[in-house]
Every structure is written in structure tokens, then in C-alpha cells.
Amino acid sequence: MAKDKSQKRSWWRITKKILLWMFIGQFVYILLCKWINPPITITQAVNFVQGYGLKRDYVSSDDLGPNIKLAVMASEDQLFPDHDGFDIKAIKKAIKYNEKHPAKARGASTISQQTAKNVFLWQHGGFFRKGLEVYFTFMIEKIWSKERILQTYLNVAEMGPGIFGAQAAASAYFNKDAKNLTRQEAAMIAACLPNPKKFTVKPMSRYVTMRSARILNQMNNLAGDPEVAKLLK
């Protein structure tokens, strides 16, 4: 009996050490990613293994240009400059909608949440992954700047089968750099984000055609916001 208790204490000490080092490791990685781009993400690795390839080209915030920044804020998170990582009103609306339409679930993830998921976690995964997403979102909002979050999102988000980041997308779809995208082209890329394998930019799916027109209209409305304008520089 005493031997069993001793073994349990020993295993518990080992477990605590492992958890402590895991915590330290992830904190250091979050800190490093404030300045360096993630070498690879889980989503990128999965896409490569599934045969989609891996097209990406991480670029600076200046080299992304203003139009794709404006497009993703208009399409994904219009309150991005103002919130602390979570859009509570949008979350409440999504909960009410999903209760009434369980077969057509609607999300309310901010750009910060999507960045946390894309850099540190995996797609899908239920409540466990969502819980981790909340933690990583909180951490990057505290440690990174809004500019860094937006830049990282635009470098790692999937924008087509095996295509990651705005620079790779601009090259693949329009044979140009991201900073030279027109508003229309940027809106088309942003329109595919909910499901980039299904909602194709080229050939342009019906969904992208319709949604890009709405995004373009929202871009025109959003461009005059002073906080948004700061992030476009």
C-alpha cells in the first residue's frame, strides 16, 4: 500500500513537471511569435499531408498593403480595432441563431480568435479546442499588438486549397503581390475565408461572387473609421 502511494506521488511530481514545462514552452512560443512568423501551423501541415501542397509566403505588414487588411476586417471582424479579442454581442447573436437553426450553425469568431486558432491550434475540435482558443486569444491580445495580430492572420489564414496567406493568394489568383491588390480583388479573397476549399476564387464560385460584392460595400463604409485607418497604414 505504501509502495502504491509512493508511486502515485512520484507520477504526480513527474506530471506536474511536464505540465510546467509545457506551460513555459507555449508562453515562450507566444512571446517569440510577437516578432517571428510561425515555422508551420497544424492546419498547414495537415493540408500538406492530405495532398493539397503548401503555398505560402510570409510578408511584412507594409507588403500586405491596405486593401486586403480592409477586406478581412470588413468581412470577418468590423470591430477588430475596438474589442479585446471577443465580440460579446456577436457571440450572443450567434447563440440565439444557432438555437433556432441548429442545422445551420453560425460562428462569431473575431480575427484575434481565428489567429489564435490558426497559429496555435487545429480546425474543428469542439469545446476543448474552443477553451484553448479563448486562452490563446487572451494571451495574444495582451502580448501582441493589433497590427501584429492582423499581419499574422493575413500570413497564416487558408485562402484556397493549400494556399496560405494573402501574398500566396494574390500570386496564385491575380499574379501580383498582396500590396497591389485592388479592393475588388481583396474582397474576392476575403469572401472565400469561411470555407476556402469550397468557396473558390478561381474559378469564382457563386458564393464568392455574391459575398465579395457585399464585402466591397462594407469596405467602402469602413474605410473612413479612424481606428481602422490606423491599421491600414
- Rounded to an integer, the average pLDDT of 78-103 is 75
Crossing angle of helices 111-120 and 66-76, in 10° steps, is 100
The residue extents of the domains of the chain are 41-48+56-232
Average pLDDT along the chain: 90
102, pLDDT greater than 70: no
CATH top class, domain 41-48+56-232:
mainly alpha
Which of 1-15, 18-32, 114-128, 141-155 shows the highest mean pLDDT? 141-155
39, pLDDT greater than 80: yes
How much of the chain is in helix, strand and coil states, percent to nearest 5?
65, 5, 30
Closest CA to 166 of 62, 36, 33, 51: 62
Confidence band of 170 (pLDDT split at 50, 70, 90): very high
Facing residues of 164 across strands?
A: 56, 158
Contacts of 37 (CB under 8 A, 6+ apart): 58, 152, 155, 156
Angle, CA 111 vertex, CA 229 and CA 176 arms, to 5°: 65
Facing residues of 158 across strands?
A: 164
Name the 3-class secondary structure at 55.
strand
Gap between the Cα atoms of 75 and 194, Å rounded: 10
Confidence band of 186 (pLDDT split at 50, 70, 90): very high
- Rounded to an integer, the average pLDDT of 74-96 is 84
Gap between the Cα atoms of 186 and 179, Å rounded: 10
Gap between the Cα atoms of 31 and 21, Å rounded: 15
Confidence band of 219 (pLDDT split at 50, 70, 90): very high
Confidence band of 95 (pLDDT split at 50, 70, 90): low
Which of 15-29, 37-51, 102-116 shows the highest mean pLDDT? 37-51
- Rounded to an integer, the average pLDDT of 94-111 is 65
Gap between the Cα atoms of 189 and 177, Å rounded: 13
Percentage of residues of the chain with pLDDT beyond 90: 76
96, pLDDT greater than 70: no
Q: Between 90 and 40, where is the model more confident?
A: 40
Gap between the Cα atoms of 104 and 150, Å rounded: 28
- Rounded to an integer, the average pLDDT of 127-145 is 94
pLDDT digits (tens, 9 = 90+) for 49-72: 999 999 999 999 999 999 999 999
Gap between the Cα atoms of 188 and 170, Å rounded: 10
